Amino acid sequence: MTKKLLLSIIVVLLITNVATMIFWKNDGSDKVADDDTEIDVNKPVATIDGHDVTYEDWMTSLRKNYGKKELKALINHQVVKKLAEEQNITISDKVIERDIAFLTTMQGLTSEKKMNDLEEQWREDITYRYQLEALLADGIQVSDAEVQSYYTKYDRQYQFSESMQLSHIVVPDMDTAEKVWEELQDGATFQLLAKEYSIDEDTRDNGGYLGFNSSETEFLPSEYFEVAEGLEDYSYSEPFAINSGVAILYLHKSLPDITFSYEELQPYIRNELALQTTNQNLIADPLWEKLDIEWVYDE
């Protein structure tokens, strides 16, 4: 992955994390977007030794610390969306899925619901970033030879290789494995059982977590990927034999190969090179002059 692509993906991740702190749903009783906590606006949101922190105190602090920045971000998104629609700038679903896959591998253990919420937000932010890049690059000349040369040099870094997010429990014999499997069937938590039973000292304290791995890794038994191929996301296997004992595998998330031809990547590389040539930062400010915009921070 090129440094610029990696940096832009990290920026999307940071934007998403900040956004979950800011967005609110107002329906008389507010909900915090990141955890659906019910908020009664007429009651204190916290009490410290008898001193109340009111909802209005909280909102005032948010506006003071994040208000202008967040409002500008909302305007930026609307500006880019409108101009992209006018110029018919669309982003390939395949490119979006590739970036979502990269972002997913930067996550630790995440529940299925939270991951779905993250993917929805990432999709919006990734689309915004590529549309902004295309709008800023419009009119900047980059030769076909430059694009082809860049593709030849960095082609593999734009592709995504299959990756599986795994956990395991390793026990010494099949009798113990059957006991663990029965406890899983009865509703026991995989992580807690790993801490209790697993003989793999490297992962036991982390609930058997192995992280994201490709089938090319030399650090996991080859059987793991054969078994994982037959699992659905967020499910575990039956016990199976490996060199060090008997394993039960948990597949958190499976991410398939996403590969691109030169023709598919050409417009995105061209935009990237155009902004590099002009040292253009990826900010929407230059686009504001194309629309009639008024906001509360106008002087």
Q: What is the pLDDT of residues 65-88, one digit of tens each?
A: 888 888 999 999 999 999 999 999
Task: Please report, as a single letter, which amino acid is at residue 99.
Answer: D
For residues 103 and 163, give the distance between their C-alpha atoms in angstroms, rounded to a whole number.
12
Rounded Cα–Cα distance for residues 1 and 160 (Å): 9
Q: What is the pTM of this model?
A: 0.80
In the chain, where the domains are located: 3-159+259-290, 163-255
Split at pLDDT 50, 70, 90, the class of 12 is: low
Higher-confidence residue of 244 and 119: namely: 119
Mean pLDDT for the chain overall? 88
Q: Which residues contact 276 (CB under 8 A, 6 or more apart)?
A: 4
Tokens 């029965």 belong to residue: 182
Question: Distance between CA 296 and CA 254 in Å, rounded?
Answer: 46
Q: Is the dihedral of CA 263, 268, 274, 279 positive or negative?
A: negative
90 in Cβ contact with 299 (< 8 Å): no
4-21 mean pLDDT:
50
Residue with tokens 């999709």: 123
What is residue 2's predicted lDDT score, i.e. its pLDDT? 57
Look at residue 62 in the predicted model and tell me its pLDDT. 86
Q: Which residues of 256-289 are buried (b: 16+ CB within 10 A; e: fewer)?
A: eebebeeeebbbbbbbbbbbeeeeeeeebeebee
- Residue 8's pLDDT is 55
Position 32 scores a pLDDT of 44
pLDDT of residue 134: 97
Tell me what pLDDT residue 36 has: 62
Structure tokens of 226?
A: 């054969």
pLDDT tens-digit series, residues 133-191: 999 999 999 999 999 999 999 999 999 999 999 999 999 999 999 999 999 999 999 99
Class of 163-255 in CATH = alpha beta
234 sits in the region (left: phi over 0; alpha: psi -120 to 50; else beta) called left
Q: How far is CA 165 from CA 151, 226, 227, in A?
A: 29, 14, 13
Q: How many residues does the chain have?
A: 299
Q: How far is CA 55 from CA 40, 42, 50, 52, in A?
A: 8, 7, 16, 10
> What does the pLDDT read at residue 20?
43
Q: What are phi and psi of 261, to 5 degrees?
A: -85, 170
Confidence check: pLDDT of 96 > 60: yes
Residue listed under structure tokens 């979950």: 20
pLDDT band for 244, please (50, 70, 90 cuts): confident
Q: Which two tokens stand for residue 18?
A: 């900040």
Distance separating alpha carbons of residues 138 and 133, to the nearest angstrom: 9
160: helix, strand or coil: strand
- Answer for the pair 246, 172: CB distance below 8 angstroms, yes or no: yes
By the 8 A CB rule, do 231 and 252 touch?
Answer: no
